[in-house]
Structure 1
Amino acid sequence: MAKRGKTVVDGAKGVIAKVPAPSPNPMTNLIITDIALRAGGTLLRHTLERGAVGAKLGAKKAGQVVKGRSMMQTLVGTAVARIATRSVPGAIVVGGGLLIKTLVDRKRAKSAQVEGSVALDEQLERGKKA
Structure 2
Amino acid sequence: MSEELSREEVRRRVRERAGKPALPGPSENPATNLLLADIVIRIGTSFLRTGVEKAFLKNRYDPDTANAIVDNRSALRTLGAVAVAKFARKSIPGAAIVGTGIVGKLLYDSAKTRRANRRKGDTQLLEQAAEETHTPEG
User: TM above 0.5, one fold?
Assistant: yes
Unaligned runs of 5+ in 2: 1-20, 117-138
Larger radius of gyration: 2
CA RMSD of aligned residues (A): 1.9
Unaligned runs of 5+ in 1: 1-16, 113-130
Matched, 1:30 2:14: no
Which gives a bigger RCO, structure 1 or 2 (Cα 8 Å, sep 6+)? 1
Which of residues 85, 103, 120 in structure 1 aligns to 2:107? 103
Please list the CA deviations of residues 16-37 of structure 1 after superposition, one character each: whole Å capped at 9, or x if unmatched: x677410001111011101000
Matched, 1:76 2:71: no
Structure 2 CA distance, aligned partners of 1:58 and 1:19?
Answer: 46
Structure 1 stretches of 4+ with a deviation exceeding 3 A read 17-20
Instruction: Give the superposition deviation at 1:59.
Output: 1.8
Q: How many residues align?
A: 96
Structure 2 CA distance, aligned partners of 1:82 and 1:71?
Answer: 16
**Structure 2 residue aligned with 1:5:** none
Larger helix proportion of the pair: 1
Q: Which amino acid aligns with 2:61?
A: L
Structure 2 CA distance, aligned partners of 1:94 and 1:61?
Answer: 29
Structure 2 CA distance, aligned partners of 1:111 and 1:75?
Answer: 33
